[in-house]
Structure 1
Amino acid sequence: MEANKANDLIVQEPLYKKVEISKMTHSEAIEILFYKGYVDCFCPYCEKPSVFSGKLTIEQEQRKINLQISLSGSPGGNRTRKLFEKPEIYQLEFFCSRNENHILNVVYKVENETIVKIGQSPSSFELQRGEFKKYKTILGNSYNDLYNAIMFYSSRSGVAAFAHLRRIIENYFIAKAYKECKELPDWNDIKYKEAKFVKKLDFLKVKLPETLTQNPRLYSIISKGIHELEEEECLLYFEALKECIFLSLDDTIEENRRGKSKKKIKSELSRIDNKINKK
């Protein structure tokens, strides 16, 4: 659990995200500040998925031991708070398993009982590129919106990130489904255009990904975020919304794969049938 928290803080979270030490154990705080485990992510230098491993210097190992000793004598109360109140900087290095010259640097600042990631190179955005790069072909022009959504999130611009997620729903999922539904024999274009958004999803559900139709509140949450929520609230909710978009894209990819497989099997069976019947 601690390793996952340390990994996610590096890969998923933007700069200046505050993590409250009071909401974790001493061992969890130490694991983050002196993490030397694995960071599973995309290496922007290799342009491939990779695993980075952390290494601590002798000085860092000694600093970790000193902090553990101090904390072991202060299970709670004022002394514990004082250990994490004054400003302290912690720097970590991780090395790519494909090429040790590819280095990931992370800098944390501890102050007022919080851990804040104040520096990182490559950025969390660059480390996530491998996660969403696979959607480039299927999204076409809308890939730029996915790219920008995650870039704005990593730059702590929550409202802008929400705006680009909404554009993906409108310009990719909805536009694509509408184009396909218009070809159906029983399609009623007038009723569709008069309907509210949630009702439009009902009209289009036969051509929309299952994840999207099962989560109709996605669009309204994003819209509310753009018009009513603060930046911090948008940043707090972004990951869940992004994952819903990813799952919807995965549904589309799987549906396309199944469609191609069915077409191929049908063609192959037809070929076999013709060949057998000629005998």
Structure 2
Amino acid sequence: MFVADYPEFGPVRKDFRTRLQKPYICVIKAKCSRVNEHVACYVFRLNEKDGVTKIGQYPSGADTAKQDLKKYRKVLSEEHQKGYTKAVGLFAHSVGAGSIVYLRKIFEALVKEAHQEAIKDAAWLSTHGAGYSALRMGEKVAALDKFLPSDLVRHPRLYGFLSQGLHGLTEDKCLELFPMLMMAVDFILDQKLEKLEKKQKREALDKLLNNTQT
């Protein structure tokens, strides 16, 4: 739990509107209520004309992503762990296209893994196998509905833009779409992690039962 510590306005230009007529830097410091050494800082530029602009933070977005990524290490390759971190770091620095490219690579790899699982199913193979490779990304996800998270399949807006390519997207549009694609990736990773944990519990149960047989 973090407690936000808002800075006090100084005695100069106490009137808030007067203060904002010139650019004003505001630092918000959040401290952990349990461990004082755990601190996060967010820096904003305030101005009556330009509004509020975030201009910095500590820890960085990339450092934060590394912490969030820890839970996915069991289900994400080392290569894609690095890509995930780079994607978040670029996004934190407002690099839209670059961040989307890294994330798209991860998303497509995860969909490919789901496809590898699907082709082991004879019923799926007879229905979708022949034409799958010619499908667009949105259509591939729909075809893999039994092997991908239902929330992902129900909301094609999260990833549908990948079917149209990225070359026509502006930096601002990429930054707008990044959180949606990130959520799509996290949906798949959460499902893979849940399956792995269930498998490990079943194996532990089988081992326990075998060891206690009389």
TM class by shorter chain equals 0.7 to 0.9
Number of the residue aligned with 1:114: 51
Q: 1:253 to 1:64 in 2, by over 3 A?
A: farther
SS in 2 for 1:226: coil
Q: Of the candidates 237, 243, 264, which is equivalent to residue 183 of structure 2?
A: 243
Number of the residue aligned with 1:126: 63
1:165-200 CA distance string (max 9 Å, x none): 2111211x2221122222233425433223443333
1:115-264 equivalent positions in 2, closer than 5 A: 115-140=52-77, 141-171=79-109, 173-186=110-123, 187-188=125-126, 189-224=129-164, 226-264=166-204
Q: Mind listing any 5+ residue stretches in structure 2 that lack a counterpart?
A: none
Percentage identity across paired residues of the two chains: 24
Compute the displacement of 1:122 (Å): 2.7
Compute the displacement of 1:92 (Å): 4.3
Report if aligned partners of 1:146, 1:165 keep a CA contact under 8 Å in 2.
Answer: yes
Number of the residue aligned with 1:46: none
1:182-239 CA distance string (max 9 Å, x none): 2233425433223443333344333223333223343322454723222112212322
Number of the residue aligned with 1:12: none
SS in 2 for 1:61: coil
Compute the displacement of 1:139 (Å): 0.9
Alignment: residue pair count = 208
Report if aligned partners of 1:90, 1:107 keep a CA contact under 8 Å in 2.
Answer: yes
Compute the displacement of 1:150 (Å): 0.7
The reply to whether residue 63 of structure 1 matches residue 6 of structure 2 is no
SS in 2 for 1:126: helix
Q: CA RMSD of the aligned region, Å? A: 3.2
Distance in 2 separating the partners of 1:152 and 1:168: 15
1:34-53 equivalent positions in 2, closer than 5 A: 51=2, 53=3
Compute the displacement of 1:151 (Å): 1.1
1:29-55 CA distance string (max 9 Å, x none): xxxxxxxxxxx5xxxxxxxxxx4x555
Q: Mind listing any 5+ residue stretches in structure 1 that lack a counterpart?
A: 1-39, 41-50, 72-79
Q: 1:159 to 1:268 in 2, by over 3 A?
A: same
Number of the residue aligned with 2:22: 86
Q: 1:183 to 1:240 in 2, by over 3 A?
A: closer
Report if aligned partners of 1:225, 1:234 keep a CA contact under 8 Å in 2.
Answer: no
Q: Kindly provide the amino acid, as one letter, of the partner of residue 157 in structure 1.
A: V
Number of the residue aligned with 2:35: 98
Greater helix percent: which structure? 1
Distance in 2 separating the partners of 1:160 and 1:224: 17
1:83-137 CA distance string (max 9 Å, x none): 423222233445555353x654443222224122223333233234322331122
Q: 1:246 to 1:64 in 2, by over 3 A?
A: farther
Distance in 1 separating the partners of 2:25 and 2:134: 58
Q: Give 4+ residue runs of structure 1 displaced > 6 Å after superposition.
A: none
Compute the displacement of 1:62 (Å): 4.7
SS in 2 for 1:205: coil
Q: Which protein has the larger Cα radius of gyration, Structure 1 or Structure 2?
A: 1
Q: 1:241 to 1:93 in 2, by over 3 A?
A: same
Distance in 2 separating the partners of 1:183 and 1:216: 25
Q: 1:206 to 1:64 in 2, by over 3 A?
A: farther
